[in-house]
Amino acid sequence: MDERPVAVITGASSGIGEALARRLARDGWLTVLLARRRERIEALAAELGGEADVCDVSDREAVERVALAVLARHPRVKLLVNNAGISGRGGFLTADADRIELVMRTNYLGGVWCLRAFMPGLEAGAPADVVNVVSVAGSVAFGPAGPYSASKHAQLAFSRSSGAQLRSRGVRVHTVSPGFVETEGFPQDTILKSGFFRRVVIGPNDVADHIAKVVRRDRRETFVPFWYRAFAILQGLMPSVVSRVASRSGYRSDDQAAE
């Protein structure tokens, strides 16, 4: 019988999810990888000695079906990482309407459905942890990336409210908000024009290491790198200033940068 603690990771086929799966496997976790691309996650699971289940988190029925299958194999889940996310490809006035709906279903509701579906396993595995990979865009709104920012604002509120509810049930909820991360789904070189923001792009491994540390040290709400918190504070105190800076930052209007 496999005695390794079980970690369920969504969006595990590439980027932050893949990097985190590798990190947790090195730390002795049994990783259950969820994503839409079967070949990717099955190959990664085989390499890491983990498991793979095809799942589109924007589909509530699919999430519930996959969770039942996973919990039948592993009644106790020690860690759930809601990492799956997609880009918005434009602002509220330019993005495709179907894309806007999909962004909200994936980036926000996907985490809600996963938490609800895996809650029996998390309670059985308590003390257990949930990590919601949000974004600096969840605290700082960028007009050109409105749908993406809105989905991440919703995800942040979900993370905070569920964290307040679940700690008494032995489940700790952590919010991790990366800044600009170079991944397959978010190619920063094609999004950022030049200047300061280009120089602060980090890699998926940086976020994976941060998540491992957050769970180990029980940190509630963190940013990667840490100094991005200043932008979130500034947004709350002086939103008009942030709005003016964002409009002049060289941030392209046809995509968003943070994930």
Q: What separation in angstroms does the CA of 87 have from each of 46, 59, 218, 230? A: 28, 17, 29, 24
Q: How many residues does the chain have?
A: 259
**Residue tagged active-site, from 108, 148, 228, 251:** 148
To the query of whether residue 251 is one of the catalytic residues in this protein, the response is: no
Cα gap 197→188, rounded to integer Å: 10
209 token code pair: 């290491």
The CA angle 130-132-135, to the nearest 5 degrees, is: 160
Active centre residues (catalytic): 148
